[in-house]
Amino acid sequence: MMTAFELSPEHEEFRQVVREFARAEIAPYAADWDEHHHFPVDTVRAMGKLGLFGLIVPEEYGGAGGDFTSVCVAIEEIGRVDQSLGVTLEAGVGLGIGPILRWGTDEQKRRWLPDLAAGHALAGFGLTEPEAGSDAGATRTRAALEGDQWVINGAKQFITNSGTPITSLVTVTARTGDDEISAIIVPTGTPGFVVEPSYRKLGWHASDTHPLTFDNCRVPADHLLGERGAGFKQFLAALDEGRIALAALAVGLAQGCLDEAVEYASTRSSFGRPIGARQGVAFQIADLKVAVEAGRLLTYKAAAAKDAGRPAAEVKQAAAMAKLFASEAAMAAARTATQVFGGYGFMEEYPVARFYRDAKILEIGEGTSEIQRMLIARGLGLPVE
């Protein structure tokens, strides 16, 4: 009998399709995109044509009507060669499409999902603010209902896919009352919606990340996503899914580091022997293999729990464990691979240098490692604050 976290033959076949695409259409260009901080719109559209953005979108809205596990498979394989496009897919599906799919009205779904599913457009997720990161409840952005319009004022930061040439909307959280946070869809191009200059980031150079400003930004009242006052609860639920997806991205990075380390240790000679013949190197790579497999099992077990409709508390715990372990394993994998490469690992010509820069954000984004430990502890019944 198949276990809850074993991939089906169909998933493995799909993995091969995405892997071939990643190797042919992404891997040869990833270093150049990274060096020039270039967001490859045409490649993102090609990912859409392959169906990657529409995996969980119902067929009636132009998607494949598939499961969340398939999304994780795609993110892992893209992230195995390029984390920037991996996170573009992760955020585009989990944080861009996901909230509209779960809480949008039929009209909102018909308006936005077809282009998002096809990869013709991208959507962002505006939660984090200058004073509200892990403490998302400290949101200061406000939205006042004036007649038939929401008037939004405030700022968001670190928002992925928010300023690309094909970004169509950002869903933002805003205070719609003193003790009330709601989610509102804000289309790009709306007067008062300002996409600020992109960040100078340590890693993920080819992904799109901006701060956003809202200055008397007006959108129709029917752009409210879900129930008024339910925005905070909605986005916490979206983050649970996002953590599983980010864990898949971390597994991809760790696997990429393992691939590079094995190849280099097999071909690089020192004192007349491949360095992989020496226990000091071989044992590090063996430990890396164990970490990759453990992270993968935790990730797909969490994805299986979500697809099976397990209780929200169970999914939250599984997501937190997967994200915590996989992200920290990815950081350790990047360090190990760089060490195996020695001086060459410090050179940008080699993918491990890019992986090293890309890895750190995995321990921060979608909730820091500290937040994940807090969630896990609370799930055990501990009165942690």
Catalytic residue numbers? 366
Report the candidate in 78, 71, 2 with the shortest Cα–Cα distance to residue 358: 78
Please name the amino acid found at residue 202: L
CA 259 to chain centre: 22
Using CA atoms, how far apart are residues 354 and 87, in angstroms rounded to an integer?
A: 14
Which of helix, strand or coil describes residue 142? strand
- Other C-beta atoms within 10 Å of 216: how many? 10
From 31, 37, 78, select the one nearest 206 (Cα to Cα). Answer: 37
CA-nearest of 145, 234, 130, 221 to 181 is: 234
Q: Which residue is it, tokens 């006042």?
A: 144
Nearest to 302 by CA among 5, 75, 73: 5
β pairing state of 167-177 and 149-160: unpaired
157: which 2 tokens?
């930061």
Structural Rg of the chain based on CA atoms = 21
Phi, psi of 74 (to 5 degrees): -65, -45
